[in-house]
């Protein structure tokens, strides 16, 4: 395949579109360096934690660490699929995804090496439900785009990555981190890193909802694909949350499982409702709805 023309020397960039607005936010907010975060107090705080408290935070971090590595490894086919459709504005924003996921991998590794000084093999924290999502569903859905970049395949990939991995598991994990760290006033460096990570991931999820909305609006038959993928993956996602609580006779830090399952389901349901409204909507309406969501979360 050869190029017949270039967008920026024929029509120009559509800077009003949600992907370009997200790209502007990524340039402004996404350039942070994990190596600059001071973890000195975190080392001292870690030593004061009880063994079960350390174990819970290590379990949570082991899941995040592998999850960030997984998306770093598996993301390229989605970027390529969008690029092959000539959606330059979307591809420009997607270039920030891979940089940011790699940066998140870097951050969690710093915490494990410098603060926790953990054994290198933490895979025993990865339960069967975790394997279902990160070892199987995520790579399968994203790598499938190499052979089949159809709208249906893009829906499966984005639901898996943006709706489930980021929108359910990552956001619930952030909620757990912040609950523990803020209530106990510990680990300020990790707290700052997680804040920056969450900021990055909010842009990723916003794009995922935009992509799914655009695809469903163009072809309502894709709703069945979206719904089937969500129904397949939501149970193991909630299972990952349940597995963490099942590992302890008495949950460290006094955490309650219902608080986090309710949080996960609430985040999920809000996005499902957004996507339902996209059915039959015009592209202009999807732009307006997405832009309002971006403006409401302007951080």
Residue recorded with tokens 């590794």? 109
Count of domains observed in the chain: 1
Question: What residues make up the domain containing 175?
Answer: 14-296
* Residue 13 reports pLDDT greater than 90: no
8 domain residue, yes or no = no
Helix (H, G, I), strand (E, B) or coil at 78: helix
Do the beta carbons of residue 23 and residue 295 sit within 8 Å? no
* Residue 120 reports pLDDT greater than 80: no
Q: For residue 66, what is the domain's CATH number?
A: 1.10.620.20
What is the model's pLDDT at position 291? Answer: 85
What is the model's pLDDT at position 299? Answer: 46
What is the model's pLDDT at position 117? Answer: 87
Q: 40-63, pLDDT tens digit by residue?
A: 999 999 999 999 999 999 999 999
Cα(34)–Cα(226) distance, rounded to whole angstroms?
A: 35
3 domain residue, yes or no = no
Tokens of 216: 């469903």
1 domain residue, yes or no = no
The one-character DSSP state at 279 is T
Residue recorded with tokens 């998306």? 71
Cβ contacts of 14 within 8 Å, gap of 6 or more: 20, 89
290 domain residue, yes or no = yes
* Residue 161 reports pLDDT greater than 90: yes
DSSP H or E segment with residue 261: helix 257-278
Using CB atoms within 10 Å of the CB of residue 278, give its burial: 0 to 12 exposed, 13 to 18 middle, 19+ buried. buried
For the beta carbon of residue 208, count every other beta carbon within 10 angstroms. 22
* Residue 12 reports pLDDT greater than 80: no
How far is the CA of 58 from the CAs of 68, 131, 293, in angstroms? 15, 17, 33
Q: 260-286, pLDDT tens digit by residue?
A: 999 999 999 999 999 999 998 998 899
5 domain residue, yes or no = no
269 domain residue, yes or no = yes
**247 closest CA partner among 116, 55, 63:** 55
Cα(133)–Cα(4) distance, rounded to whole angstroms?
A: 40
Cα(252)–Cα(29) distance, rounded to whole angstroms?
A: 33
4 domain residue, yes or no = no
201 domain residue, yes or no = yes
Helix (H, G, I), strand (E, B) or coil at 180: helix
């Amino acid at each position: 395949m050869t190029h017949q023309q270039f967008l920026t020397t024929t029509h120009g960039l559509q800077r009003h579109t949600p992907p370009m607005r997200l790209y502007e936010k990524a340039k402004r907010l996404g350039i942070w360096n994990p190596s600059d975060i001071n973890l000195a107090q975190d080392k001292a705080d870690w030593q004061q934690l009880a063994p079960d408290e350390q174990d819970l935070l290590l379990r949570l971090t082991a899941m995040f660490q592998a999850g960030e590595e997984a998306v770093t490894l598996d993301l390229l086919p989605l970027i390529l699929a969008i690029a092959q459709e000539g959606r330059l504005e979307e591809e420009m924003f997607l270039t920030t995804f891979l940089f940011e996921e790699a940066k998140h991998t870097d951050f969690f590794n710093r915490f494990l090496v410098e603060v926790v000084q953990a054994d290198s093999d933490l895979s025993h924290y990865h339960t069967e439900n975790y394997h279902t999502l990160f070892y199987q569903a995520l790579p399968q859905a994203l790598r499938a785009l190499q052979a089949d970049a159809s709208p249906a395949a893009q829906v499966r990939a984005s639901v898996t990555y943006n709706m489930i991995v980021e929108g359910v598991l990552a956001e619930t994990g952030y909620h757990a981190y912040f609950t523990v760290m803020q209530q106990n006033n510990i680990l300020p460096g990790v707290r700052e890193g997680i804040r920056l990570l969450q900021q990055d991931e909010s842009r990723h999820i916003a794009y995922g909802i935009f992509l799914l909305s655009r695809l469903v609006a163009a072809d309502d038959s894709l709703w069945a694909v979206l719904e089937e993928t969500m129904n397949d993956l939501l149970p193991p996602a909630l299972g990952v949350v349940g597995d963490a609580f099942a590992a302890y006779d008495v949950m460290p830090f006094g955490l309650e499982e219902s608080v986090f399952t309710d949080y996960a389901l609430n985040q999920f349901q809000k996005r499902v409702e957004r996507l339902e409204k996209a059915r039959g909507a015009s592209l202009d309406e999807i732009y307006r709805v997405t832009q309002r969501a971006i403006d409401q979360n302007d951080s």
